[in-house]
């Protein structure tokens, strides 16, 4: 974070500064510049600890641990440990966002900060990582860590900005209407990216039209000096061009896209395609597995072009990427020719379908395709229908074996066996340990295995175990 006095921090969040009697050599003019944390286990010396009240716990219970770890400032909703200065606020989560807003505004007013906001039902983290790598080529940059994209993770990322930061790459997610608007108000994007509008989180949003309205918050308030980077292949995203004052830049496979791909070819080593940007073309050897990630690469390339990178720099950056992100089409294994593709960090119907298509494409001629699938969460009323659809797809793409794990995904298994095309090629286990033992006893040389589920199903850990077993 930039240097701010305790008084300035308190003013930014409309808080009351309290300096206890046991605090020596500290005044309202004392400067704090450490990062902010909401988890006491992550606190390091000189940092700010925000004692948030969550659904399951209360950050005030962990104040002492934060102070013991070296916290220089506490943001609290009631006075607590007086060993360090405290700022008392009405709501610590709101205060976190207020401080982030103030820091971003100050840096932007004093320097050349470009803010890139990225949202979409699928592909946010992968695209964010690709854009962040390109942004590094133009100077100091800050990007969301992991999947920090909500009312807490977003501000924590923004508060890492320094005076010399040239680019802030912010992943912006939502589980309800208004959340992306709040994030964009904290850090108004110069470049707003919308990737897809799909059924991810449909149970929370209540339907595709609500998802459309929520994701369109990214571009609705962009000024005419900003750029809206939109997916020309997604009909819902395409509609957003009518809702923004910003200059629109299309990406996708559509011939009207300003940044597009052709000649796409995929295998277990990655994806090759020709990249076209405003009349220039170049081949790309993209090492990230799965044709669906070409869309993310095109979005990143569009942003890179807007940031001033040349076609050659964009291609070099894309070719330097080795994987999308941890647990996202992560290639593991190798012993006996067995390939494990661990893609179990998130799963929506669209990404699950894309993963199964990729598995069918990359299966080795002398090996089998094995799909280890768990539940897709947060689908609400669409859950049964979408699990049925994925089971049918696995059969129709001739996946050699389907291993379904977890009772929440049982409908997927039932759908596959009801299709009638198989005879015992779909099996079901309630527990991961049972599935692991089964796979270890049945996998054959040169098999290709996709492990895919929503984060809550936890199959990423099963994928890790298989990857280590066949390392």
List binding-site positions for ATP.
120-126
Q: Which helix (H) or strand (E) holds 373?
A: strand 369-373
Q: Write the burial class of residue 273 (CB in 10 Å: 0-12 exposed, 13-18 middle, 19+ buried).
A: buried
* Beta bridge mates, 342: 330, 451
Among the listed residues 150, 118, 158, the one whose alpha carbon sits nearest the alpha carbon of residue 134: 118
CA–CA separation, 6 vs 260, rounded Å?
A: 49
204-241 in b/e form (b: 16+ CB < 10 A) is bbeeeeebbbbbbbbbbbbeeebbbbbbbbbebbbebe
Spell out the residues 6+ positions from residue 42 whose beta carbon is closer than 8 angstroms to its own. none
Distance of CA 250 to the CA centre of its chain: 21
Q: Which helix (H) or strand (E) holds 285?
A: strand 280-286
CA–CA separation, 135 vs 105, rounded Å?
A: 20
CA–CA separation, 299 vs 250, rounded Å?
A: 9
CA–CA separation, 142 vs 167, rounded Å?
A: 6
**DSSP per residue, 409-425:** GHHHHHHHHHT-S-SS-
* Beta bridge mates, 184: none
* Structure-token pair, residue 72: 């220089």
CB 408 within 8 A of CB 379: no
CA–CA separation, 259 vs 277, rounded Å?
A: 5
CA–CA separation, 1 vs 34, rounded Å?
A: 6
| Residue 109 φ then ψ, to 5° | -70, -30
Binding residues are 120-126
């Amino acid at each position: 974070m930039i240097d701010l006095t305790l008084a300035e921090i308190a003013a930014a969040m409309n808080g009351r500064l309290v300096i206890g009697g046991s605090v020596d050599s500290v005044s309202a003019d004392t400067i704090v510049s450490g990062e902010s944390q909401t988890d006491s286990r992550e606190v390091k010396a000189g940092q700010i600890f925000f004692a948030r009240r969550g659904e399951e716990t209360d950050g005030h219970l962990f104040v002492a641990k934060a102070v013991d770890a070296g916290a220089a400032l506490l943001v609290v909703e009631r006075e607590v440990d007086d060993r360090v200065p405290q700022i008392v606020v009405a709501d610590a989560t709101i205060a976190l966002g207020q401080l982030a807003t103030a820091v971003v505004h100050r840096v932007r007013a004093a320097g050349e900060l470009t803010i890139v906001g990225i949202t979409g039902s699928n592909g946010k983290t992968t695209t964010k990582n690709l854009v962040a790598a390109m942004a590094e080529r133009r100077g100091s940059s800050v990007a969301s860590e992991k999947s920090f994209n909500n009312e807490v993770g977003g501000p924590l990322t923004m508060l890492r900005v320094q005076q010399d930061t040239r680019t802030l790459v912010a992943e912006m997610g939502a589980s309800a209407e208004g959340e992306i608007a709040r994030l964009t108000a904290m850090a108004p994007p110069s470049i707003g990216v919308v990737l897809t509008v799909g059924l991810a989180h449909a149970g929370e949003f209540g339907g595709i039209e609500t998802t459309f309205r929520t994701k369109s918050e990214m571009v609705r308030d962009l000024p005419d000096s900003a750029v809206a980077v939109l997916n020309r292949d997604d009909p819902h995203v395409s509609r957003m061009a009518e809702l923004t004052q910003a200059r629109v830049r299309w990406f996708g496979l559509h011939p009207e896209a300003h940044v597009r791909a052709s000649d796409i070819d995929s295998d277990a080593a990655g994806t090759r395609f020709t990249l076209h940007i405003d009349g220039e073309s170049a081949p790309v050897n993209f090492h990230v597995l799965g044709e669906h990630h070409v869309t993310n690469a095109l979005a990143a390339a569009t942003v890179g072009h807007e940031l001033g990178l040349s076609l050659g720099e964009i291609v070099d950056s894309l070719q330097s990427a080795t994987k999308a992100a941890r647990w996202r089409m992560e290639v593991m294994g190798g012993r006996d020719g067995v390939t494990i593709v661990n893609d179990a960090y998130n799963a929506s119907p669209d990404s699950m379908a894309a993963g199964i298509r990729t598995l069918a494409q990359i299966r080795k001629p002398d090996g089998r395709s094995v799909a280890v699938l768990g539940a897709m969460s947060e689908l609400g009323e669409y859950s049964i229908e979408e699990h049925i659809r994925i089971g049918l797809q696995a059969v129709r793409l001739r996946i050699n074996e389907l291993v379904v794990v977890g009772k929440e995904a049982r409908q997927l298994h039932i759908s596959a066996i009801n299709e009638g095309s198989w005879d015992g090629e779909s099996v079901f286990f309630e527990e991961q340990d049972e599935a692991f033992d089964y796979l270890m006893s049945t996998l054959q040389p040169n098999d290709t295995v996709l492990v895919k589920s929503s984060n809550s199903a936890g199959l990423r850990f099963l994928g890790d175990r298989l990857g280590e077993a066949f390392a």
